[in-house]
Structure 1
Amino acid sequence: MKIFQEKSVSSLYSKGRFFLLVMIFLASSMAAYADRQSSLEGQAAAAEDKQTSLESGDSSPLPSPEEEMSLGRQGRGLAVPLEKKVTAIEVKGNSFISTRVILSKIKTRAQADYSTNIISDDIKRLNELGYFSDIKIDTEDFEGGLKVIIILTEKSLLEKIILKGRFSRVFREENLKEAIKLKEGQYLDQVQLKEDINALKDLCIKKGYAQAEISSQSEMNPATNKIILTLSIEPGKRIRIKRIDIRGNKNFKTKRLLKLIKSKRAGIFSSGFFKEDLFKDDIERLKSFYRKEGFIDVKIDYEAGSHAKRGLMFFIIRVDEGRKYVVGEIFIKGNTVFSVEQIKKELKLTAPGKVFSQESMQEDASAIQSLYFNRGYIFTHADGSTYLNPENKKVDVTYAVDEGMLGYLDKIKIRGNIKTKDKVVRRELRMYPGERFDGEKLKRSKERLQNLGFFEEVSYDIEPSSSDEPDKRDLVVEVKESKTGEFSFGGGYSSVDKLIGFIEVAQKNFDWRNFPYFTGAGQDLRLRAELGSIAKNFELSFTEPWMFDYPVAFGFDGYRRERDRETDIGFGYNEKRSGGDLRLGREFGEYLRIDAMYRFEEVTISQVSDEATADLKKEIGNNIISSMQLGLSRDTRDSVLNPAKGYVLGGTLELAGGPFGGDKQFFKATTTDSKYFALMRSSTLEFRLRAGVVNAYGDSSAVPIYERFYAGGAYTIRGYHERRVGPVDAVSKDPIGGEAMLIGNIEYLYPLMDMLKIALFYDLGNVWPKVDDFASGGYMAGIGLGVRLKTPIGPVRLDYGFPFNKEPGEPAKGKGRFHFSLSRGF
């Protein structure tokens, strides 16, 4: 049995009390009380010895903070047999945070087996709450088991934040307080305080006060036992850049080098404020540029002058380029698993004749390690070394590979998930304990976690394992949770729905069992209402991706959708749909998925034009649609929201009527295929193809107008009116849809910034009255450009398309059209 003291355990070992306690612990149950008394006395004496040791200058090593966490906080002075049960849990030291909240955050439970791993995770969860400066967990015998005692030290509460200094000529106090995330009544977090000080300094720098000084002082108010925080802000003198000159550059024009410098002189489009850190980064940026171009020996320095009265600075950047180096021969040594040819295929940057740079050599060394890592050699290390060949003055590069042994996964640890249950993360992982490490599986696991939409960041690390086997390692999956719940409302205009307002409540990490928080199980719940000038929609949707913890998705939708007659967007009638569906789906393998859906809805058609033909007028009335749909898809995209590579192949078969009842009988088949290519500068090229056919059968003489295919507009062929590509009524010229559809789209996206992309597109396709007309041709095309913008209420698409053909029923080709919508794409 090990006894861990709060500080050093070395003195306890030196006094021999460790072995005494072991003997006492092994005594019979009749001496249990004496054993506990001796243990407590031993701990007190050890603490006394430790104090004596410190006073006498004993240099015995103190445990690290990590050892304090792993040793001291999992039961000081008590070794716990694994088979013991937890009989009680007690919380001490909490004044502001309720015991109920604390107990809801830990996984240790009464009547469950005691587990040091769970205790360690509990400490992590409590620490991530940010409420406590110290967390200790102790244990004691209680009613035949163990009482777990959680001892907390709460952070101090902020009573008041005071700003002082000569900042009033630059900032308003309320603006400064808005930049501070620490608020009165919250806990004083030292990490957040440091971030707030940096935020205040950044504000000063943006205003040109590069030499601003900001400090903090905290003082305890004994009357309230709360902290008074004082922030001192001294902006100093404002400085602008008047001129930047570059001298000594021979191989690159000054204009090109100045583009690399983010510090700009004062002018019409730049304030020119001097920021010392930014200017130093500019110098390093220039050095990095030269080194990547093969000028390994480059030296760059600068001189600064100033006009004190006017607050201006002048800079001269001096460049000593040195000689340019290129790669000569490449040698590989130490490799047995892969051939030299296989390894050289991974070297993208260091190849004979290419410009040599240290950065390129390091990146290719990492590429070699990745090659081995993907095969399970997690201990592989590759180093690049250079030799300047005196004959040809080229740099020969040698990569020395230390392959190491194969690595195997011991345990998987999940960190950073406060709301999300561990099992939600684990079920997306493609590696399991006991398996050989596989880089491709780790990469796919990361993609799947990111596609959930629950996490801002996903990363993994490999840590030493507690196993005695040298080839075993633990996998640590680190996640940073994002906000998954939304309450949103707003309004807008689109070319499809005209004026519209909406309100939505959504939680994509829903858990109906977790009262009152309702988060953490990975379910999706949405309630949405839309009211517009021509449309009224109400929807409820729920999806459980793992029904009963099996990889079978279950979901349902309930809805009521109304759309008024609006010929401008291709509706020559009023349409009302009320109903719902039930969904089941399952993945097979890594990318294949099969889905089934039963749909039941009532459709009402009214307000058909008096001038319409009899074929269109016969759609008036109420009809029940009852159908079963089967879908098969293969999705290899790297990202669901922003794919850069991969493809989606999907097809559906739907049967309405017949064995499923209802008023209409038809059979519909559709396919949707997309392929994505990653190009230079993070741009992407996407090809899409959609095709479909629908046929009536049985007692139905024609396919209902609301189940036919339509094209034209924002989501199909841009440059044309909504739903205006395809058959129209012979008299009213209203679109009536067709039984066959084929649409192709090519779209190139180029990012201008994280939230904004420009798009170039070409659309081609048509809708035909009958399936037999599929091969008759008559394709219609459009071309144009647009923008993609990320907003808090969802992605915004704005396109301008030019038509190549005239619309059916129109005498001449129309002009270009704008298409505006709130959606990512097709």
Structure 2
Amino acid sequence: MIGDRQSWPDEILRDREPPMDAWRRREENCMPDTPPLIFRIVLAGISLWMAFGVASCASKGSVKSETHPKYIIHEIDLQGVTRFKKSEFLKYLYMDETSWWTWTGLTDTYYFSKGFSKDDAKRIEELYKSFGYYQAAVKEIRMEPLKEGSDEVRVTIVVDEGEPILVRLIVVAWTDGAVSQKEVEAAITLKQGARFEIRALNRSVEKIRLVLESGGYGLAAIQESAEVDRDRHWADVAFSVSHGPYCRIGRIRYSGLSAIPSHLLDAEIDFAPGKPYSPELLTRIEKAIYAMDAFNSVSVSPDKELGPDGQLGLLVQVVEGNPQRLKVGIGIGIESNRWDSHLSLFYTHRNISGDLVRFDLAAKAGYALLPYPWEPNEHGPILKLEPHFTKKGWLEPKLIWTIKPSFALDIQEGYQYYTPSLRFGVSRFLFGFTLAEASYNAQFFDFFSQSSLFQLNKTVLGRDFQDPYFLDYLEFRYTLFFTDDFFNPKNGVIIDAIYDISGAWLGSFYDYHKITPEIKAYWQVFSHLQAAARASTGYIFPYGMKPGAPISMKYYLGGGDTVRGWGLKRLSPRIEDCDPSGKCSSLPVGGKTMALGNVELRFKTIDVLYVVPFFDVGDVQSGEMEYKPSQWSYSTGGGLRYDSPVGKLRLDFGYRLNTFSRFSGDARWAIHFSFGDAF
């Protein structure tokens, strides 16, 4: 047994974590003279976006010095610090180096303060103690101007680290028999002969608990203790382990429900009762309930003892969110061959009938000019109205039903159109990582203000152009998610396949099959760099008594989401449109065979700004299964991503690496401004 131990530092005993948590607590209790209002103006592309927020606390370096308000910390020089990297060391301090990004308003300006430097000296010594250096001391913190008369200074911190405390002995004592003893001992991150670190001690306790709980021992108890001899520089560590009874999930109770009935939650987590207890199962329960999109927070905790049935009950605590959300905004869309400005409205009611029938409404109204606002060849109003109803649980608890009527008024090169449509679909997750979807779609298209090439008696498109036309088709989609996250993957692969079939037997004016497989891959190389790639192809096969496909359903490439060296839909088979003076322009009409590939590197420079170089390749041909690699178009370029309060803003510049005579009239570059990642 371990004898009497010396006292650990008071702050360590109180927090049981390195001083990072203490820093967070001190930040929450910042000085009362902290400015309460922060305005940050960020220039993204050609648009001005303002984020306005009220903060009760400033960040760690935003408080100006009461002694030297003009001295800006430009550089911090560490002397005698070998245990920590500079970036890691500075995270624990109030002071930091002022970044050159400060002018953007996205980073803080750090000022030198004698008061804060004294606090930082104490924090440095406590930091070293938590990592096993009980004799570490700050010898000096001094400030000197970079040059005479400058308000930018260099701060030098001199540290004597001293000798570290080493682990001499580790003992594991079982109070109720050894279960998974080898796994428990392997989970201990502290090692004999290594430095004694509080963080490693706490991590060892959590890993022991994780091993036992993952094995079904949900009531496991672990008690750690240590004897530290500062003079001899050693520490003896002991763990007392009680695994308790083997546990299965019993009754699940809810706290915080008001407008949402509990049976809807029961249906989402029907996989849990009777299963062996494990932290992974609790996380799965939390994710399943949170995915209902009805709660602001979800937490699951086990009971302290087994219930009368010999099983371990769970308490699910939820905070219901406001069922209604409304967003109204002004937007601008920029492509090299199309500009538009619009008003947008998004309304959501997540529980319109009391049993989680969801209603979403997206509306947009504006005006578009093609190709440029200062020299429009075509222009017209744009309108989009999309109500959307969603309900889960009809016929089968996991089925998700949707009905989406919509109306659109828009303009494309060579024509304007309006289209009412209806989509009725059902989807279901299978096996936890696949999504199967099926839908019936009906659309009516009517063209107006079209070029003479889109007149029924003059068009060269044959059956592929009818005005107006009805389109009815069934769509089947199957998606495999081999990723760490469904919606924002950092690593993994997504495989997707879409199959459409249209025919006169559905009431459609067209008979065709359309198949579009796609694969996307993501790799988080390190914390500030993600590599992403996409490969896709597509085929349209006419059949039957009405063979053909309308231009609205054909394949087009070009624009901010596909091949970025091209304007919107410009990488496509075309027809020539010439006026009486002999001036001609080419109008994209889509194709039946598509190939697409993208690779991009997403560099995170600061918390909200990304730099993204990319390479794109693609082609669209008018024939069926018509691949012509010699005619594929290659583009490269770069872009910026700004993670704003209204979503991720994207500005890309693409340049075409090759060109062909059939596209000789097109610029070899394009600019795109839009939202979200390209894929």
Q: Same fold (TM over 0.5)?
A: yes
Going from structure 1 to structure 2, the CA distance change for 1:204 and 1:400 (only over 3 Å counts) comes to closer
SS in 1 for 2:383: strand
Going from structure 1 to structure 2, the CA distance change for 1:672 and 1:327 (only over 3 Å counts) comes to farther
Q: Deviations over 1:763-800 (max 9, x none)?
A: 23322322332375643333333233344544322222
The residue that corresponds to 1:370 in the other structure is 210
Separation in 2, partners of 1:286, 1:508:
53
Going from structure 1 to structure 2, the CA distance change for 1:729 and 1:679 (only over 3 Å counts) comes to same
Q: Partner letter of residue 699 of structure 1?
A: M
The residue that corresponds to 2:535 in the other structure is 689
What aligned pairs does 1:345-494 form with structure 2 within 5 A after superposition? Answer: 357-381=197-221, 401-417=241-257, 420-429=260-269, 431-464=271-304, 467-468=307-308, 472-479=312-319, 481=321, 485-494=325-334
| Structure 2 residue 95 is the aligned partner of structure 1 residue 263 | yes
Farther off after superposition, 774-783 or 500-509: 774-783
Shift of 1:720: 1.9
Shift of 1:259: 4.5
What aligned pairs does 1:8-23 form with structure 2 within 5 A after superposition? Answer: none
Shift of 1:283: 4.8
| Structure 2 residue 134 is the aligned partner of structure 1 residue 297 | yes
Separation in 2, partners of 1:367, 1:817:
52
Q: Partner letter of residue 366 of structure 1?
A: E
Going from structure 1 to structure 2, the CA distance change for 1:318 and 1:667 (only over 3 Å counts) comes to same
The answer (yes or no) to whether the contact 2:132–2:198 under 8 Å persists in 1 is no
Shift of 1:302: 7.4
TM-score after normalising by structure 2: 0.72
Q: Deviations over 1:434-456 (max 9, x none)?
A: 33213323223333444444444
Going from structure 1 to structure 2, the CA distance change for 1:414 and 1:791 (only over 3 Å counts) comes to farther
The answer (yes or no) to whether the contact 2:512–2:547 under 8 Å persists in 1 is no
The answer (yes or no) to whether the contact 1:687–1:747 under 8 Å persists in 2 is yes
Going from structure 1 to structure 2, the CA distance change for 1:300 and 1:605 (only over 3 Å counts) comes to farther
Separation in 2, partners of 1:291, 1:478:
39
Q: Deviations over 1:262-312 (max 9, x none)?
A: 425999963627496797467536753x578x6533534577999xxxxxx
Shift of 1:717: 1.6
| Structure 2 residue 544 is the aligned partner of structure 1 residue 544 | no
Shift of 1:736: 2.1
The answer (yes or no) to whether the contact 1:465–1:474 under 8 Å persists in 2 is no
The answer (yes or no) to whether the contact 1:727–1:808 under 8 Å persists in 2 is no
The residue that corresponds to 1:795 in the other structure is 648
Shift of 1:663: 0.9
The answer (yes or no) to whether the contact 2:528–2:605 under 8 Å persists in 1 is no
Going from structure 1 to structure 2, the CA distance change for 1:420 and 1:748 (only over 3 Å counts) comes to farther
Going from structure 1 to structure 2, the CA distance change for 1:315 and 1:576 (only over 3 Å counts) comes to closer
Separation in 2, partners of 1:823, 1:239:
40
SS in 2 for 1:774: coil
The residue that corresponds to 1:526 in the other structure is 361
Separation in 2, partners of 1:204, 1:350:
32
Shift of 1:246: 7.4
Give the gaps of 5 or more residues in structure 1. Answer: 1-166, 180-197, 211-236, 307-312, 515-519, 566-570
Separation in 2, partners of 1:267, 1:743:
40
The answer (yes or no) to whether the contact 1:463–1:476 under 8 Å persists in 2 is no
The residue that corresponds to 2:342 in the other structure is 501
Match of 1:615 among 457, 460, 467: 460
Higher helix share: 1
Separation in 1, partners of 2:545, 2:334:
39
SS in 1 for 2:209: helix
Going from structure 1 to structure 2, the CA distance change for 1:253 and 1:578 (only over 3 Å counts) comes to closer
SS in 2 for 1:786: strand
The answer (yes or no) to whether the contact 2:95–2:116 under 8 Å persists in 1 is no
- The structure with the larger Rg is 1
Going from structure 1 to structure 2, the CA distance change for 1:253 and 1:337 (only over 3 Å counts) comes to closer
The residue that corresponds to 1:558 in the other structure is 405
Shift of 1:256: 6.3
The residue that corresponds to 2:424 in the other structure is 582
Going from structure 1 to structure 2, the CA distance change for 1:246 and 1:761 (only over 3 Å counts) comes to closer
The residue that corresponds to 2:495 in the other structure is 649
Going from structure 1 to structure 2, the CA distance change for 1:321 and 1:580 (only over 3 Å counts) comes to same
Separation in 1, partners of 2:669, 2:192:
52
The residue that corresponds to 2:659 in the other structure is 806
Separation in 1, partners of 2:98, 2:497:
59
Q: Partner letter of residue 707 of structure 1?
A: M
Shift of 1:366: 1.9
Q: Deviations over 1:188-234 (max 9, x none)?
A: xxxxxxxxxx9768699966487xxxxxxxxxxxxxxxxxxxxxxxx
SS in 1 for 2:663: coil
Separation in 2, partners of 1:398, 1:763:
58
| Structure 2 residue 570 is the aligned partner of structure 1 residue 729 | no
The residue that corresponds to 2:82 in the other structure is 251
Shift of 1:660: 0.7
Separation in 2, partners of 1:555, 1:400:
55
| Structure 2 residue 655 is the aligned partner of structure 1 residue 785 | no
Separation in 2, partners of 1:501, 1:778:
37
Q: Partner letter of residue 460 of structure 1?
A: V
The answer (yes or no) to whether the contact 2:213–2:279 under 8 Å persists in 1 is yes
Separation in 1, partners of 2:266, 2:68:
53
What aligned pairs does 1:174-189 form with structure 2 within 5 A after superposition? Answer: none
Shift of 1:494: 2.8
Higher strand share: 2
Separation in 2, partners of 1:787, 1:493:
16
Separation in 2, partners of 1:394, 1:743:
62
Shift of 1:536: 2.3
TM-score after normalising by structure 1: 0.60
Q: Partner letter of residue 314 of structure 2?
A: D
Q: Number of residues paired by the alignment? A: 587
Match of 1:319 among 127, 146, 159: 159
Separation in 1, partners of 2:603, 2:265:
32
Which structure is richer in relative contact order (CA contacts within 8 A, separation 6 or more)?
Answer: 2
What aligned pairs does 1:591-602 form with structure 2 within 5 A after superposition? Answer: 591-602=433-444
The answer (yes or no) to whether the contact 1:806–1:812 under 8 Å persists in 2 is no
Separation in 1, partners of 2:272, 2:198:
37
Q: Partner letter of residue 542 of structure 2?
A: A
Farther off after superposition, 647-656 or 468-477: 468-477
Separation in 2, partners of 1:639, 1:825:
17
Shift of 1:369: 2.5
Shift of 1:573: 2.9
Separation in 2, partners of 1:383, 1:744:
55
Q: Partner letter of residue 596 of structure 2?
A: I
Q: Deviations over 1:353-394 (max 9, x none)?
A: 9876331343244234223323322233456778999xxx99
CA RMSD of aligned residues (A): 4.7
Shift of 1:705: 1.7
Shift of 1:598: 0.8
Separation in 1, partners of 2:599, 2:98:
43
Q: Partner letter of residue 429 of structure 2?
A: E
Separation in 2, partners of 1:254, 1:437:
40
The residue that corresponds to 2:146 in the other structure is none
Separation in 1, partners of 2:223, 2:593:
60
Separation in 2, partners of 1:432, 1:254:
44
Q: Partner letter of residue 328 of structure 2?
A: S
Shift of 1:668: 1.0
Going from structure 1 to structure 2, the CA distance change for 1:493 and 1:633 (only over 3 Å counts) comes to closer
Match of 1:705 among 528, 551, 554: 551
What aligned pairs does 1:758-769 form with structure 2 within 5 A after superposition? Answer: 758-769=611-622
Going from structure 1 to structure 2, the CA distance change for 1:739 and 1:302 (only over 3 Å counts) comes to same
Going from structure 1 to structure 2, the CA distance change for 1:305 and 1:322 (only over 3 Å counts) comes to closer
* Aligned residues with identical type, % of pairs: 17
